[in-house]
Amino acid sequence: MTVDEQAGMSRMLEDIHREVLYTADETGLASFHQAVMAAMASVPRMRFVPHGLESAAFDNGPLPIGHGQTISQPYIVALMSELLRVGKESVVLEVGTGSGYQAAVLSELVRQVYSLELVPELASEASERLHRLGYHNVEVRQGDGYHGWAEHSPYDGIIVTAAAPHIPHALIEQLRDGARLVIPVGDAFGPQRLLVVTKHNGKLDEQIILPVAFVPLRHSTVDRPTTLH
């Protein structure tokens, strides 16, 4: 990183820390694990934003990445990674690859990330970007996230980076017993809540974390999944 990028990264990490403290009453988290913060510090966020927006890469807010999609604010990326409660041997599913930033953060925390993106152009660009930057434990597939990716299930955690009107049944089916699904649920223009859904002996325990604002999780009428390398 350049000196300016290092300064931006330090500012981003400080902003995350402040927001953790600000939201502690809602989330129940006074701090995030060192591994999560180390992952946030390791991934070069400026490589995951569109050309011309690099100067805003370390701001604690979302940014447009084209096709009506966004890269989530750093605090939310860190929070969702923290809530997943995964470890070095975990295999996780991400729904909504976007630019690949959340997948890159997860790749620092787990053994393998499988990531689904509905928009073909974003899926292709993210796959190329992740491999070019050395995140070789991430596999991207173009497909409908509502159906999940059954081939590699059950997963030790599933993270959804767009708001669904309901919890997709396929994702629950593909979640390992005892594992967590972290998902924003709500209408595109109405209230949304970040949920943690834990699967226990086939039953679900839902915990509301805090209000959020995500782009909607899009559904394809024709799902033609393509795995990208």
pLDDT of residue 202: 81
User: Is 70 exceeded by the pLDDT of residue 59?
Assistant: yes
> Which tokens sit at 47?
């490589």
pLDDT of residue 227: 55
Let me know if domain 3-228 sits in CATH 3.30.70.2470: no
pLDDT of residue 219: 82
User: Is 70 exceeded by the pLDDT of residue 87?
Assistant: yes
pTM of the predicted model as reported, rounded to 2 decimal places: 0.93
pLDDT of residue 3: 86
Q: What is the pLDDT of residues 130-178, one digit of tens each?
A: 999 999 999 999 999 999 999 999 999 999 999 999 999 999 999 999 9
pLDDT of residue 218: 86
Report percent pLDDT > 90 for the chain. Answer: 89
214 or 202, which is more confident:
214
Q: Please report which confidence band the pLDDT of residue 228 belongs to, taking 50, 70 and 90 as the band edges.
A: low
Write the DSSP assignment of the chain as a string of letters: --HHHHHHHHHHHHHHHHHHHHTHHHHS-SS--HHHHHHHHHS-GGGGS-TT-GGGTTSSS-EEEETTEEEPPHHHHHHHHHHH---TT-EEEEE--TTSHHHHHHHTTSSEEEEEESSHHHHHHHHHHHHHTT-TTEEEEES-GGG--GGGPSEEEEEE-SBBSS--HHHHHTEEEEEEEEEEEE-SSS-EEEEEEEEETTEEEEEEEEEE--PBPP--SS---EEE-
Q: What is the pLDDT of residues 185-195, one digit of tens each?
A: 998 777 999 99
Q: Please report which confidence band the pLDDT of residue 224 belongs to, taking 50, 70 and 90 as the band edges.
A: very low
pLDDT of residue 49: 96
pLDDT of residue 226: 52
Active site residues: 72
Q: What is the pLDDT of residues 102-115, one digit of tens each?
A: 999 999 999 999 99
